[in-house]
Amino acid sequence: MGWLSGRVAIVTGASKGIGRAVSRVFAHEGASVVCAARSEALLEETAGMIRADGGKSLAIVADVSTEDGARSVVEQGVEVFGHVDCLINNAGDSGPTKPVEDYPFDEWRYTIDSCLTSSYLCARFAVPEMIRAGRGTIVNIASMAGRRGLPYRIGYCSAKAGQIGMTYGLALELGRHNITVNAVLPGAVEGDRIERVIAAQAEARGSSPEEVKKVFLQRSPLRRMTSADDIAYAAVFLCSDHARNISGQCLPVNAGEPAS
């Protein structure tokens, strides 16, 4: 018996990285997983991995930063699995690395919508299902960048700060329905995405990727980056009965990186 046996989880941004890790770990812990993302090929890879491991999954190609996309994911998940217990708001784009004077409005809106608006919309449509069930858990995959900021990445930092604020507000609003709402705050997470961020930061600062990566690692007392699985297991804990009295909290998973 896994920590999430019998539960149904929606994971957005499930096609790769943290979202793929969360989907696989949730399935390993017994959850039926609704995997949502925009990339059909990569999404099917995630769902296929879950099924190959003996788990249950449903792949839904959707843009959850739109009302139709978010509604469709929840409705299809309920249609197939009967209910929704857990929502993992992981969808989002890292956004451009540019000084504010060169930061195009359309890229600002895209970054805010992909990270923050998607979280609001998925909660909007999933919460009524949780209320009907008498329980639920929401975990927002935010970022340490939402607490301390990063230069040249105001869109991403603003969106992640918004997710943290949403976590506090929804926890207060939904507690009476036995719904917990928390956030996981990753630091630098191993993978292609952080390598792209490091390269872009190096270019913006007129530095080398090696120097920027050294700065990232020096923030951590453990002198290492976090893995996607580390984030996934934190989310499993917050969605389990072991965390039933934890709500309105932000859990940094960042190898000890300080908040400021």
In tens digits, the chain (260 residues) has pLDDT values of: 799 999 999 999 999 999 999 999 999 999 999 999 999 999 999 999 999 999 999 999 999 999 999 999 999 999 999 999 999 999 999 999 999 999 999 999 999 999 999 999 999 999 999 999 999 999 999 999 999 998 999 999 999 999 999 999 999 999 999 999 999 999 889 878 888 878 878 787 788 888 877 777 888 888 888 999 999 999 999 999 999 999 999 999 998 888 66
pLDDT of residue 260: 60
Nearest alpha-carbon partner for 181 in 251, 92, 77: 251
Q: What one-character DSSP code corresponds to residue 116?
A: I
Q: Cβ contacts of residue 36 below 8 Å, gap of 6+?
A: 10, 11, 12, 13, 14, 43, 60, 61, 62, 64, 73, 91
**Does the annotation mark 152 as catalytic?**
no
CATH code reported for the domain at 8-187+229-252:
3.40.50.720
- For the chain, the maximum distance between any two Cα atoms, rounded to a whole number of angstroms, is 54
Annotated domain spans of the chain:
8-187+229-252, 190-225
Angle 79-81-83 from CA coordinates, rounded to 5° = 85
Residue 79 has a pLDDT of 98
Among 103, 156, 168, 233, the active-site one is 156
